[in-house]
Every structure is written in structure tokens, then in C-alpha cells.
Amino acid sequence: MARILITGGCGFVGSNLAYSHLNLDDEVIIFDNLSRLGSSVNLNWLESQNFKKLTFIKGDIRKIGDINNALRKTIDAVYHTAGQVAVTTSVEDPSTDFDINARGTFNVL
């Protein structure tokens, strides 16, 4: 049994990864800001499975304090799946895209 932190854990990849680890009886901490369409639906689906070892933390990888709080407990593995993935959004607002993907990743590291 391991304690797993998944950033972007309410996205498609993150929620399926969480589901897999929960089925292995791992403790899973999902860290997500719920900004993407469908992320709340994915969280609701995971919570409806009644896994006892699932924790949700609402936070943003761009905020170092948020990610530090999520890492307060001992974590065995971190899966970093959070990010801004829409090309159209990156073209319209490259500064925010950079902040999420580069600075956010830097904060997680």
C-alpha cells in the first residue's frame, strides 16, 4: 500500500489513474482546482465509488502554498497530470498557459 498524490486528479488521465490506485488499495490524494469542464463530474464519479482511502484537496499548482500543503504528509509517489492542455487557450492567453504548465510544474517539483 502506498500514499499517492495526483495533481490534476480530476482530469481524464488523473481520475483514471486514481481509480486504478484505489483498486490496488492505495491511499490516493487528488489535488485539482476543478477549472476544466468535466472535472467535477470525474470527482463525483470517484467519490460515488465509496473508496475509503480517497482524499480531495482543492488547490492550484500555480500557488506554491497550495502544493506545499498537499505535500505535508509523507507521499510515496507523485503523478503530475495537472496542466493547461487546450491549444486554443494557449494561443489566446500564452502567459496563463506558461504560468500553469511551466511555473506549476516547477512548483510541483
Tens-place pLDDT, residues 6-33: 999 999 999 999 999 999 999 999 999 9
- List the beta bridge partners of residue 7: 31, 80
Strands (E), the chain: 3-7, 27-32, 54-58, 77-80
Backbone angles phi, psi at 32, to 5 degrees: -160, 150
Q: Across all residues in the chain, what is the average pLDDT?
A: 95
d(C-alpha 45, C-alpha 89), whole Å: 27
Q: How far apart are CA 9 and CA 45, in angstroms?
A: 12
> How confident is residue 73, by pLDDT bands cut at 50, 70 and 90?
confident
At 21, list the grid cell: 490506485
CATH of 3-108, one of 3.40.640.10, 3.40.50.720, 3.40.50.150, 1.10.760.10: 3.40.50.720
How far is residue 90's CA from residue 38's CA, in Å, rounded to a whole number? 19
Model confidence at 90: pLDDT above 80: no
pLDDT given at position 79 = 98
Rounded Cα–Cα distance for residues 29 and 102 (Å): 22
Instruction: Give the pTM.
Output: 0.93
Q: Give the domain ranges of the chain.
A: 3-108
Average of per-residue pLDDT across 39-57: 97
